[in-house]
């Protein structure tokens, strides 16, 4: 085309471009023909560019290709690790650039057209930089006509300037003061920068996203503003920060499993300080950050020089990555009962030798001890056996040198353990006095009288009455009683009377396929397991042949357990015959409130995050038979009927939420959803895709199961519906 333009006009055009650079200057006006399948891959509808292979191209103008010019979306990690492509002009039709689309590429310049409405959207409140670790990126240009985004001094933000999505990190700035008005830094916004050493946040800042400063290796100083409310998990991974001051407005947030820590792999971190006005946090004498009542450990600075850590006697919860990559720590001692060791808790603690859980056998979370290369002694002295969310909990540990010490009564329980086959198992006599009581013997708890007692466990099965100077039982389970010095005095187990019903042991701490297998091993000697395709996933049913009439059911979708889990009794009479009410009263705490679907909740809960509620569901219009369904729900807010039994309430907001209102399903957020509607016996009634905030149900006069898959996040929700 250039050859057909007269030389005089061409001179004028080149002069204009020199004075006012734009997207036309960035690239040559021709490029070689591109071939689908060889150079790139598109989605089936041809509207999403999912993968790029053309490593010989340094410049790409999608508008010059008849196929790519029609593309509306750049898919997740589409150009990932492509180092040859340096300049890109996106198609004038591109509406969305998904997270990580150009991550770790050699990109220097990119032009974003006026059509683009979404960049790096994960969900309504979370963003993921499409240009993370683009170390050469110096020029992000947005069409002036774009109504959604703008670029100011190398910062890509929304049009209002409140959300910072990306930074042109090839600019080589060592010191940054983020512009006033920015309230949110998106995930990976500065990830991989080689030059940033110091950052000052504006007074307007409220949220720092996940991995926002991941691998900003020279970042040594960051000034956090008062008004900052949240810092996402791993925000400062592998930075050089040595000291950080947390403002009074900041609080650690909890995801589904545990509290998040922004200090994952902060090997240089020596000290964390708090604003003098901080009310919810405190710093212990060893330099660790706790909740103000010392019940939650959030972080221990990795470079503070500590060699031995003893948990305070009040501790009952540990945040993710709390001990991550600690440089000098050799021993950890936790006397009180801890249920769960969360994600990457001790990961990479290079000198950690011995860890003791004096009264518990906690669930070991993902990568919890990964790369603890010197770990040689793990003491888990509670009753029961240690469970693992995944075998990667001990990745990088020399299992042939590791010894697991357990209570003598539990030693044989570890025969053929799926994760610990190479680990030496030895019996160790615990220091505590073990009391095993049944429900009729709970009055024996009143015999423990001491002014020196610290009660620690969550969920509580017993509580200390300072007024009556007595321990009082609440429900079946295990708890630890400590002295004020933190020494274990008692491990109390209150055994339930009703043991015939299969207990649904799975919790959110163990909600994947590995946990299902572990659960099956636990109950293998007394149940039959049946697996069958159903409801678009896999229905797993457990039944005890000696106790007919009741089954435990779980739905698996892509290896994950759906949040709706149930015990199903064939009749209400069977529920009464098997003492179902007493079964739940013994194991869980009565609670009422609202579940995450906005429905009234009146049942039982455990760990403050889950609830069981009695629900009668009709099987279908052709039968009068009914089932009594004890559904497993995440509880969003509630009040205990026995508030003295619990000292702390947790709130959990489910990301994907929907509820039935009359003859339609209302979603919490407008989006694109794939819906599969089934009868309760697993027959597929319909399958459809809807966009928006609601879905009209067909009228069929029966109860069914609706499986919802959210397109933007791949989250799955299964919920009963009345048609």
**SS3 label, residue 350:** coil
CATH architecture, domain defined by 658-722: Sandwich (2.60)
**SS3 label, residue 18:** helix
pLDDT digits (tens, 9 = 90+) for 409-424: 999 989 888 889 899 9
Domain boundaries, the chain: 433-495, 508-645, 658-722
Q: What is the pLDDT of residue 458?
A: 40
The label of the residue with tokens 């290369």 reads 373
Q: Which residues of the chain have pLDDT under 70?
A: 1-29, 124-125, 255-257, 436-477, 484, 503-525, 559-565, 588-599, 605-656, 678-683, 703-705, 713-720
Give me the residues paired with residue 61 across strands: 89
pTM score: 0.72
The answer to whether residues 677 and 706 touch, using CB atoms and an 8 Å cutoff, is yes
Q: Which residues of 292-330 are buried (b: 16+ CB within 10 A; e: fewer)?
A: eebbbbbbbbbbbebeebebbbbbbbbbbbbbbbbbebe
Mean pLDDT computed over every residue of the chain: 80
pLDDT digits (tens, 9 = 90+) for 456-508: 444 445 554 555 555 555 566 677 777 767 788 778 777 777 877 776 654 44
pLDDT digits (tens, 9 = 90+) for 363-416: 898 899 999 999 999 999 998 889 887 788 999 999 999 999 999 999 998 988
Give the Cα separation of 43 and 33 in Å (integer).
Answer: 20
Give the Cα separation of 431 and 273 in Å (integer).
Answer: 36
Q: What is the pLDDT of residue 439?
A: 55
Give me the residues paired with residue 297 across strands: 290, 318
Neighbour tally for 374: CB within 10 Å: 14
Give the Cα separation of 722 and 701 in Å (integer).
Answer: 7
Q: What is the pLDDT of residue 432?
A: 86
Q: Count how many residues are written for the chain.
A: 723
């Amino acid at each position: 085309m250039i050859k057909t333009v007269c030389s005089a006009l061409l001179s004028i055009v080149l002069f204009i471009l020199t004075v006012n650079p734009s997207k036309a200057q960035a690239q040559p006006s021709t490029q070689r023909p591109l071939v689908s399948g060889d150079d790139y891959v598109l989605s089936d509808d041809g509207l999403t560019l999912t993968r790029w292979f053309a490593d010989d191209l340094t410049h790409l103008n999608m508008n010059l290709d008849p196929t790519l010019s029609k593309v509306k979306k750049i898919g997740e990690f589409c150009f990932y690790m492509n180092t040859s492509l340096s300049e890109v002009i996106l198609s004038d039709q591109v509406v969305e650039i998904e997270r990580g689309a150009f991550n770790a590429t050699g990109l220097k310049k990119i032009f974003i057209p006026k059509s683009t409405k979404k960049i790096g959207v994960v969900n309504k409140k979370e963003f993921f930089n499409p240009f993370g670790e683009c170390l050469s990126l110096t020029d992000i240009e947005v069409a002036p006509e774009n109504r959604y985004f703008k670029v100011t001094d190398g910062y890509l933000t929304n049009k209002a300037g409140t959300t910072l999505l990306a930074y042109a990190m090839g600019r080589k700035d060592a010191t940054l003061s983020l512009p006033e008005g920015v309230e949110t830094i998106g995930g990976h916004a500065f990830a991989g920068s080689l030059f940033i050493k110091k950052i000052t946040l504006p007074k307007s800042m409220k949220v720092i996203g996940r991995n926002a400063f991941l691998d900003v290796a020279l970042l040594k100083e960051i000034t956090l503003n008062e008004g900052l409310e949240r810092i996402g998990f791993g925000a400062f991974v592998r930075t050089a920060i040595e000291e950080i001051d947390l403002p009074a407005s900041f609080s650690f947030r909890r995801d589904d499993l545990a509290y998040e820590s922004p200090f994952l792999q902060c090997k240089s971190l020596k000290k964390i300080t708090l604003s003098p006005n901080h009310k919810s946090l405190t710093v212990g004498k060893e330099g660790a950050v706790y909740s103000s009542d010392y019940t939650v450990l959030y972080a221990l600075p990795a470079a503070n020089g500590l060699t031995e850590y003893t948990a305070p006697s009040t501790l009952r919860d540990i945040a993710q990555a709390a001990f991550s990559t600690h440089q000098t720590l050799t021993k950890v001692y936790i006397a009180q009962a801890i249920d769960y060791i969360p994600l990457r808790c001790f990961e990479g603690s290079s000198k950690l030798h011995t860890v003791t859980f004096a009264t518990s056998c906690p669930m070991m979370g993902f990568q919890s001890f990964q790369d603890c290369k010197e770990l040689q002694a793990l003491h888990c002295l509670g009753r029961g056996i240690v469970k693992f969310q995944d075998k990667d909990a001990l990745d990088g540990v020399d299992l042939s040198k590791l010894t697991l010490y357990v209570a003598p009564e539990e030693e044989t329980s570890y025969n053929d353990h799926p994760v610990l086959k190479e680990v030496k198992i030895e019996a160790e006599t615990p220091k505590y006095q073990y009391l095993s009581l049944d429900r009729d013997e709970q009055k024996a708890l009143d015999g423990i009288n001491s002014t020196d007692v610290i009660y620690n466990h969550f969920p509580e099965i017993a509580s200390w009455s300072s007024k009556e100077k007595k321990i009082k039982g609440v429900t079946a389970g295990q708890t630890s009683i400590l002295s004020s010095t933190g020494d274990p005095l008692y491990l109390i187990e209150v055994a339930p009377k009703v043991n015939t019903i299969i207990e649904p042991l799975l919790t959110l701490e163990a909600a994947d396929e590995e946990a299902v297998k572990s659960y099956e091993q636990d109950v293998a000697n007394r149940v039959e397991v049946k697996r069958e395709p159903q409801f678009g996933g896999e229905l797993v049913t457990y039944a005890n042949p000696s106790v007919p009439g009741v089954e435990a059911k779980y739905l698996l979708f892509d290896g994950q357990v759906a949040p709706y889990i149930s015990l199903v009794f064939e009749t209400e009479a069977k529920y009464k015959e098997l003492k179902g009410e007493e079964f739940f009263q013994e194991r869980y705490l009565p609670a009422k409130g609202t579940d995450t679907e906005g429905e009234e909740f009146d049942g039982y809960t455990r760990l403050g995050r889950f609830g069981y509620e009695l629900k009668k569901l009709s099987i279908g219009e052709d039968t009068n038979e009914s089932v009594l369904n004890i559904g497993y729900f995440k509880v969003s807010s509630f009040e205990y009927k026995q508030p003295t039994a619990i000292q702390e309430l947790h709130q959990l907001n489910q990301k994907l939420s929907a509820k039935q209102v009359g003859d339609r399903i209302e979603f919490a957020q407008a989006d694109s959803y794939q819906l599969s509607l089934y009868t309760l016996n697993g027959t597929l009634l319909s399958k459809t895709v809807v966009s928006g905030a609601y879905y009209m149900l067909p009228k069929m006069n029966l109860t069914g199961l609706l499986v919802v898959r959210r397109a933007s996040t791949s989250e799955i929700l299964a919920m009963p519906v009345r048609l």
